[in-house]
Amino acid sequence: MSDVGKSQCLRLIDGLESECCRCRQGLCLRQQVLNLALGAEHDLLCLTCLAADNAKTGQELLTDLGPYVVSRECFGREWKKYQSKADCPNPGGCLPETCFSFT
């Protein structure tokens, strides 16, 4: 494991897409996990597009899904790889204040 690729430094989940299939915005690890929690393993969406699909705001989506995600061992393990707001590579496309209120 000597080559530290881009995805590794962003700590993304291997084998999952790293950008939104709709708007091409880069995904962070937690956005990947939100897609998995919603049952999507392909054609992943960013928080903004995911929220639009669910007729919610990003804030509402996170508030609804966050507690569920962290309570599930498999999702929570990934989620917690981001330990602080500084770990999110794309704070502009995320809602770190909300995101990091679930730990």
49 sits near Zn ion (criterion: CB under 5 A): yes
| Token digits of residue 38 | 């919603």
String marking each residue 18-47 x if it binds Zn ion according to CB under 5 A:
--x-xx-x--x-x---------------x-
Which residue lies nearer to Zn ion by CB, 5 or 92? Answer: 92
- Candidates 90, 78, 75, 84; CA nearest to 38 is 75
In this chain, which stretch among 14-22, 35-43, 53-61, 71-79 interacts with Zn ion, using CB under 5 A?
14-22
Residue with tokens 């966050």: 66
What does residue 19 show for φ and ψ, rounded to 5 degrees?
A: -140, 155
The rounded Cα 1 to chain-centroid distance in angstroms is 24
What does residue 89 show for φ and ψ, rounded to 5 degrees?
A: -75, -10
Report the Cα–Cα distance between both ends of the chain, in Å, rounded: 29
Residue numbers 73-102 binding Zn ion by CB under 5 A? 88, 94
Which residue lies nearer to Zn ion by CB, 37 or 49? Answer: 49
Tell the smallest beta-carbon distance from residue 82 to Zn ion (Å). Answer: 7
* Contact set with Zn ion (CB under 5 A): 20, 22-23, 25, 28, 30, 46, 49, 88, 94
